[in-house]
Amino acid sequence: MSSSSGKSTHILVIPYPASGHILPHIDLIHQLVIRGGLDITVLVTPKNVHFLNSLVSLHPTIETLVLPFPSHPNIPAGVENMQDVTIDSLADISIAFGQLCDPIIHWFRSHPCPPIAIFCDTLFNPWTHRLVSTLGIKTIGFMPTNAQFFFNCFSYIDSTPSFASEITLKTKDNWGLLINSFTELEGDDKFNGIKGFMKHDRVWGVGPLIPIKAGNKERGGPSSVPADELMAWLDSCQVDKSVVYVGFGSQIRLNKQQMEALGNALEKSGVRFIWAVKNDHDHLVVPLIPSGFEDRVAGRGLVIRGWVPQALILSHPAVGSYLTHFGWGSVLEGLIGGVLLLAWPMQVDHFSNATMLVDQMGVAIRVCEGLTSVPDSENLMKIFTESIKEDRPERIAWMKLREKALNAIKKGGSSYKAIDDFVTQLQS
Ligand code: UDP
């Protein structure tokens, strides 16, 4: 595909520096590149360059624009990614990135074939307006969440100025908006509602975006346990859908009481499991794994500290259920892998994600709620044991939804066609 002038169309992609945002941007860029006709430059700061390794090795034509992370009084020096801070830094990271406007303008003006659009995370909306109005180009927003979350944001814009309301209000200025979801999951209503708010039809459901194959082993960084060893351990489990995976994304850290409740439940349940545990945000404190836990569960459970190849784990046939914080990226990886989700929503969109999938659709099981809540160990133990049974109604309903998701992304499916349509409209 090429533009009506026959020339290739150049876009600058600016992902927000958090795993749950950079990774779906990468998966979407992959989809755009295989459509053809687009030249893509991706802007990252030095400590996030590694996220692009698999993408660039798969598509060497992609250019990388590396600019230094601008300093901000509330962000510790050296931090360039949300995984090293708490959710309170969400707005500050966006504001810090705003200082890149001038270097971007300088890069743009010296480029022989500058972009016709910036394609960026809607979390950057507070400052992209200045950029596109100076350069006279379009903004395309991408938010790696679902239409329901966006629809709710539009419906309840706060009259008192806040980061959240500013993002939502400025999304209306975007030429187009892409959402990592699909109409068969959410129906047309939510997408149409968003089009109504935006006052145009350039809103596309393009998900679930599939993790690019080449990136699976090193998606987001090298695994703290060699991926091949992990896969060999899962292969040795033999029984399909018999392993419980426990992980809370890139950003959440559990406290001592939560770790103990979880450890007790895993230990007493007798299930096979993988438990992904993160160091605290400054990487200094060793995770609070209950004393002696790993010896007592040796052979049947694996505790992995640091980065895990999550997409790879969730797509292994031995994995049956997943206790998750309900971040949208993790939810979609669980859907693609056909793994029953046990929901422990903790912050921002996790709650509305759980409302949709647990309460409205009955395709997942809620086990706890809240960032500091401590689950009841006995109850959690029973849920773990139940969650690997084949005949749970939630699992059956989830697998039907999975079929629809896979149909949406295959050639001729709704999300596949949406990406085609987006590229065509961008080039016309
Ligand atoms: N992820 C991973 N390994 C980890 C932690 C996270 O591969 O150890 C990936 C995960 O597969 C997902 C993304 O990081 O693609 C996290 O996105 P999500 O929206 O679920 O949550 P967040 O981390 O933004 O809270």
Of the residues 330, 331, 339, 371, which should be mutated to test ligand 1's pocket, given the most ligand atoms within 8 Å of the CB?
330
By DSSP bridging, strand 138-143 and strand 117-121 are: parallel
Answer yes or no: is the C-beta of 276 below 6 A from any ligand 1 atom: yes
How crowded is residue 372: how many other Cβ atoms within 10 Å of its Cβ?
9
Residue 328 CA: which ligand 1 atom is closest?
19
121 given a catalytic annotation: yes
Lowest mean pLDDT: which of 23-27, 154-158, 271-275, 407-411?
154-158
Name the 3-class secondary structure at 141. Answer: strand
Answer yes or no: is the C-beta of 307 below 6 A from any ligand 1 atom: yes
pTM score, two decimals? 0.94
* Helix residue spans in 136-182 (DSSP H): 147-155, 163-171
Q: Which residue out of 27, 84, 121, 349 is catalytically annotated?
A: 121
How crowded is residue 31: how many other Cβ atoms within 10 Å of its Cβ?
19
308-321 pLDDT, tens per residue? 999 999 999 999 99
Q: How confident is the model at residue 3 (pLDDT cuts 50, 70, 90)?
A: very low
Answer yes or no: is the C-beta of 176 below 6 A from any ligand 1 atom: no
Answer yes or no: is the C-beta of 24 below 6 A from any ligand 1 atom: no
Write the single-letter amino acid at 102: D
The chain-wide mean pLDDT, for the chain, equals 92
Give the Cα separation of 211 and 275 in Å (integer).
21
Q: How confident is the model at residue 286 (pLDDT cuts 50, 70, 90)?
A: low
Q: How confident is the model at residue 281 (pLDDT cuts 50, 70, 90)?
A: low
Is residue 193 pLDDT above 60, yes or no?
A: yes
What are the percentages of helix, strand and coil residues in the chain, rounded to 5? 45, 15, 40
Write the single-letter amino acid at 371: L
Whether the predicted interface score ipTM is above 0.90? yes
How crowded is residue 105: how many other Cβ atoms within 10 Å of its Cβ?
14
Query: In the sheet where 38-44 sits, what is the strand order?
Result: 63-66, 38-44, 9-14, 117-121, 138-143, 176-179, 203-205
Residue located nearest, by CA, to atom 7 of ligand 1: 310
- Nearest CA-CA partner of 322 in 344, 339, 305, 338: 339
Q: Which residue out of 10, 21, 25, 316 is catalytically annotated?
A: 21
